[in-house]
């Protein structure tokens, strides 16, 4: 029997608030998480016209990817870039293609749009 309780969907913004090129940061609600630990954040953006979201955490050292609010892409605007050591990630899959965590992945969040609201949750 599977007793796994899926995390609830969390609304992060209206779809209309997520134009192409915008990266929206949000705090991930985790009621079971130790309140003394640093809260997890995520970011959402449009990928090929559909909302996508990842946990804002580099697989290399676990730090947040961006050092400026809403700035996640490299200068060519092709890849998500970690500001600490420059690792590059494919926006569509989260795969690191170069850098110290090459071959690892960003943690993708489940995303859905319900009544015009972008919602996320941790995958199974
Ligand atoms: S912390 Fe992201 S590449 Fe090192």
Instruction: Tell me how far apart the 2 most distant CA atoms of the chain are, in Å.
Output: 49
In DSSP notation, 59-92 reads TTTS--S-SSTT--B-TTSSSEE-TTT--EE-TT
Q: What is the pLDDT of residue 75?
A: 96
Mean pLDDT for back-to-back runs of 10 residues, the chain (124 residues): 68 96 94 80 96 98 95 97 98 98 98 97 84
Q: Which two tokens stand for residue 82?
A: 């970690």
**Strands annotated E in the chain:** 10-14, 24-27, 41-47, 50-55, 80-81, 88-89, 96-98, 110-114, 117-121
CA of 82 from ligand 1 middle (Å) equals 6
Q: Which atom of ligand 1 is nearest to the CA of 62?
A: 1
Residue position matching structure tokens 């170069």:
98
Question: Domain extents for the chain?
Answer: 10-33+42-121
CA of 16 from ligand 1 middle (Å) equals 32
Nearest CA to ligand 1 atom 3: 85
Q: Which of 100, 49, 122, 103 is nearest to 90 (CA)?
A: 103
Q: Which atom of ligand 1 is nearest to the CA of 100?
A: 3
CATH 2.102.10.10 fits 10-33+42-121, yes or no: yes
CA of 117 from ligand 1 middle (Å) equals 32
Ligand 1 pocket, residues with Cβ under 6 angstroms = 58, 60-61, 63, 82, 84-85, 87, 99-101
Q: What is the pTM of this model?
A: 0.92
Q: What is the pLDDT of residue 5?
A: 64
Q: What is the pLDDT of residue 52?
A: 98
CA of 80 from ligand 1 middle (Å) equals 12
């Amino acid at each position: 029997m599977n007793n796994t309780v899926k995390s609830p969907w969390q609304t992060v913004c209206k779809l209309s608030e997520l134009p192409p090129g915008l990266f929206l940061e949000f705090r991930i609600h985790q009621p079971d998480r130790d309140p003394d630990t640093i809260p997890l954040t995520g970011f959402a953006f449009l990928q090929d016209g559909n909302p996508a979201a990842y946990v804002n955490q580099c697989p290399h050292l676990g730090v947040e990817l961006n050092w400026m609010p809403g700035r996640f892409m490299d200068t060519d605007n092709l890849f998500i870039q970690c500001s600490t050591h420059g690792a590059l990630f494919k926006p569509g899959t989260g795969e690191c293609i170069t850098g110290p965590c090459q071959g690892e992945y960003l943690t993708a969040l489940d995303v859905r749009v319900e009544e015009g609201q972008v919602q996320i949750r941790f995958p199974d």
